[in-house]
Amino acid sequence: MKYETFRSRTSFDKSDILALAHGRLVEDPPKGFALRLPAPPMLMADRILELRRDGARGRIVAERDVHIDDWFFQCHFLGDPVQPGCLGVDAVWQLIGFYCGWCGGLGAGRALGCKEVEFAGQIRPHDKVVRYEIDIVRYQELPNSGSTVAIGDGTVAVDGVVIYTIKRAKVGLFLDIDYPDYPHVSRNARGGKMER
């Protein structure tokens, strides 16, 4: 799809999300557009149902279908399968990063932290649908850097019951940090502390 279409859409299906993960969703990306979602099995959303922006605030609603053979049930834990709670937090970060790119931010996304996480339940192999609802409390394009940051409060529900809350999850998009020529050794082949 065209970049203008990407920016105007308020929902995305699984084929759209997979195309973005593989870098093939936007056919005419602007210079610096490096937005990606993780590819399966780390991709934690099957569809984005709602995207809304009102100035510096916004909202994202997405879902993921639970499958009895999801990879994490095979190892976490043997005899007691449960989805790792950190994957729910990662889903919130993934979606906030998507939001930044949808709002026009350029660069590659990175999770920057969160203030508070509470787990009050679990996701098991016979559950059906995980739902993420995130209220963006601040979206900002940082002057003179090309970077974008968004902060959101999210909930993770399974089959209609909220089981996790994530407060002040923060994600940024940063220019020129992506590593598209992996596995070759190049400028961004090594990690370490990022300059802010």
Give the integer Cα–Cα distance in Å for 152 and 176: 24
The span from the first CA to the last CA of the chain, in angstroms, equals: 32
For residue 113, give the nearest of 59, 171, 166 by alpha carbon. 171
Say whether the peptide bond before residue 41 is cis (omega within 30 degrees of 0).
yes
Q: How far apart are CA 121 and CA 118, in angstroms?
A: 9
22 is catalytic: no
Of the residues 22, 67, 76, 184, which is catalytic?
76
- Tell me the catalytic residues: 76
